A and B are shown apart, each in its own frame.
Chain A
Amino acid sequence: MATQYQERKMRDPALNPGDQPYFDAAKEGKLMLKKCNACGEHHHYPRALCPFCFSEKVEWVQAKGTGEIYTYSVTRRGGPTPYCIAYVTLDEGVNMMTNIVDCDLDTIKVGQKVQVAFKQTEGGFAMPVFVPM
């Protein structure tokens, strides 16, 4: 028995100062990460100070947009449609919380290769989500 992905309402992100570039880029189909020019580490979620060395020399860089599923769960109760929450380990080595979409949710596996896509929230923000490759 399959559990095909169904479009669902995503709530809007409540942006804080500094977050806008991430969502502007997402609207153009780009997944952005913060990279520290002092210690060289990528991080996520994006911050104004590097969480590893506390340097302010952090800049936006575009992620390749591919990675693999670190863990996931298909939530089957409580909402109007089943949905899959996950952490994806990007090729840059950073894990991000996301949703896995546009597939049979019953076939999702840890370790599966995925590629970024974008889904719109209720208010028109673009959120990075992932699709099995």
Chain B
Amino acid sequence: MTIKGKAYIVGAYEHPLRKAPDKSVAQLHAEVAKGAIEDAGLGKDDIDGYFCAGDAPGANVWSMANYMNLKLRHVDSTDMGGCSYLVHVAHAAQAIAAGKCNVALVTLAGRPNSEGSSGTQVRDRGVNLPDAPFEMPYSPVTVNLYAMVAMRHMYEYGTTSEQLAWVKVAASHHAQYNPNAMLRDVVTVEQVVNSPMISDPLHRLDCCVVSDGGGAVIVAKPEIARSLKRPLVKITGAGETTKGQMGGKVDLSYSGARWTGPLAFEEAGVKPSDIKYASIYDSFTITVIMQLEDLGFCKKGEGGKFVSDGNLISGIGKLPFNTDGGGLCNNHPANRGGMTKIIEAVRQLRGEAHAKVQVPSCDLALAHGTGGALGHRHGSATLIMERE
């Protein structure tokens, strides 16, 4: 069975706030759900499938389902960290194809900005973890787990800090047109490489923002999608996997995208060079370079060269990426960037991105995300969507 053409993204909504100290996480989930349902032109009672991940209060599906008083016949609380929502859209398409639901709601929300979260904090990851006794005393934190990937990439392929910086420069060019973005100033390569070193070789401006907020999408079966007034965004391919330390044969030169990219491209029947717009998870600048290589937009090791000289800037480069400003400039709600990757791809396919960054006749888009950390264990998910 394939999900190609079996479901459409009919609603999408991104929370406008980047700091929401006075709103509960449950309220934020409900507000983005409402926004996406209204965007689709549906009502709450049309929802019969609900998807959420570890950012939902209680890390379960029933707390938010209860808050919103949903009546469901299909639920899924798969947690793949930041890429959960890409997985959810694919799973929703599978469920719709199997007749398990007609209209699926996917929500993400959180308030790490108000709660003082930072990428240099050692996070308590829970109990019974088999890896924790052999890692946590060494203080792995989000930023150094990606910095080690960047350091190895530099060693193996000669990637430079200036090349990493181009990813941030491109994101900042897009963010200047997004009134909700946290960082709207256009930055230069020099500004990135001269910003404070956080964890070698990643500077402050190589790192994404910490923001509150959230987002939601609605996935529906074709008959319902066609009955609505919104442009048709068809799901055509998806891939999901996990990658870890392989029993101690650690290889940080590639990510799970090496496996999920081919799965998604084959299902959609397209190739990387066909893609008009790409949303690429940008927790750090290195994340983008790694994923672009692994998805096949360039050869392994040539990602640094590929992103240089504005190649990711809409209207200038060959592969416009993260035209909302991405995690590097716009937002990173709940420290999970997968949802906003989907939402900006939907805007591009609908022709509803900001005029300054809208890709002309954008009819094929890719969204890709990671969860966890590339430096030890991560989830990886790719989604391909087509304007019908």
Contact = CB atoms under 8 A, between A and B. Distances in A.
The dominant DSSP class at the A interface is: loop
Contacts of B133: 13-16, 19, 23, 45
A73 B134 contact: no
Given A11-B122, A19-B133, A125-B137, A97 B376 contact: yes
A115 interface: no
Given A43-B247, A43-B248, A96-B248, A13 B199 contact: no
Nearest to A98: B138
A51 interface: yes
Contacts, number: 131
Interface stretch (B85-93, B142-150, B209-217, B267-275): B142-150
B335 to A, nearest CB: 15
B136 A14 contact: yes
B277 to A, nearest CB: 32
Contacts of A111: 155
Contacts of A77: 120, 196-199
Given A42-B248, A44-B134, A96-B248, A72 B139 contact: no
Contacts of B196: 76-77
Interface in B272-307: none
B227 interface: no
Ranked nearest first, the 8 interchain pairs of A and B with the lowest CB-CB distance are A78-B120, A13-B133, A73-B147, A51-B247, A95-B250, A94-B248, A45-B134, A44-B248
16 contacts: A11-B139, A14-B133, A47-B130, A70-B252, A71-B252, A72-B148, A72-B200, A76-B196, A78-B120, A83-B139, A86-B148, A87-B252, A99-B138, A121-B137, A125-B137, A127-B138
Interface of B: 118-122, 127-141, 143-144, 147-152, 155, 196-202, 245-250, 252, 376
